[in-house]
Structure formats: C-alpha cells, structure tokens
Amino acid sequence: MPIFTPLQLKRALIDAGFIIFRTLPEEVVVAERVRENLIMDSGIRLRATPELAVRVVIRIQRGNFPGEDDAKLFERARALGAPAVANGFEEVAHQMSHVNDPGDSTRMLDTFYEVVFGRAAESLELALDGVRFAFSLNRVAHTDL
C-alpha cells in the first residue's frame, strides 16, 4: 500500500470537494460547514500513519441525557455508531472530553462521551469513499435514541 503524507491527503480531500479543518502530523481533520460563514470539526479524520485509515468520532453530550451514568452514555455512542460497524469500521478508542467555559477555564460546561471508529483503506479512493460514508452518519445524539 502506498504511503501518503498528511499534505498529500489534504490535497486529495480538497480535490474531492471536502473542506479541511486542520492538518496534524498524522492526520487531516475534515470540516463541516454549519453555516455559510462557519465551519467546524466534523469528527472525521483521514489518517496517514501507521496506515491509511478513516476515523470518525461519535459523541454523546451528558447534558442531553442527565442522570445517566458513564457506561450508559458510552453505550449510547456505540449504538449511534452501529451503522459504521456494519460498514466495516471498528471501535479504536473511547474517551470523555470536558467542555470548559471559554471565559472561565475553572468552570466545566458539559462532558462529551466519544467513541472513535476506524476503518483501514487499501487505496486513496477507498479512503475517500470512507470519508463520504462517515458524513452520512449521525455523529452526535441530541435526544433519546
């Protein structure tokens, strides 16, 4: 399998019509246009190393499900990711991410429960197909599943 640099992946994503949020040493983070003048991290990444792979972050926000314990919130995220698993993705990581108040870093606003799913790609074309598929997923739950 050919080796790609993040800059080569960035160029391929742009050529395929995607917007880039940021380029990191091992991956390119794809953006999502929320409004005409606002882009955000989509939770979708195209990794260059250790192998060419697509990753997608599925997220549950604690504030939307008050009273549920950590295990149940991760379970919700995994359930939301079921279509990814059916399409060849597998869980590669999970973590809790605290959202702090930008005006007061000592004040936590909420917590995200994130499950990362990944799928290796044998070619750049298959990787781009994986990114397109990842955009079709519901990546954030706002209400009960």
Q: The tokens 């991956």 sit on which residue?
A: 27
What pLDDT does residue 33 have?
87
For residue 112, what pLDDT is reported?
Answer: 94
Q: For residue 144, what pLDDT is reported?
A: 58
Per-residue model confidence (pLDDT) at position 49: 84
Burial (CB count within 10 angstroms: exposed 0-12, middle 13-18, buried 19+), residue 126: middle
Give pLDDT, residue 143: 66
What pLDDT score was predicted for residue 2? Answer: 63
Which parts of the chain have pLDDT scores under 50?
Answer: 145
pLDDT at position 50 is 85
| Residue 66, token pair as written in the block | 């008050």
* Gap between the Cα atoms of 96 and 114, Å rounded: 6
Q: What is the pLDDT of residue 22?
A: 95
The structure's pTM equals: 0.90
* CA 83/CA 78 separation, integer angstroms: 10
Q: b/e string for 20-42 if b means 16 or more Cβ within 10 A?
A: bbebeeebbbbbbeeeeeeeeeb
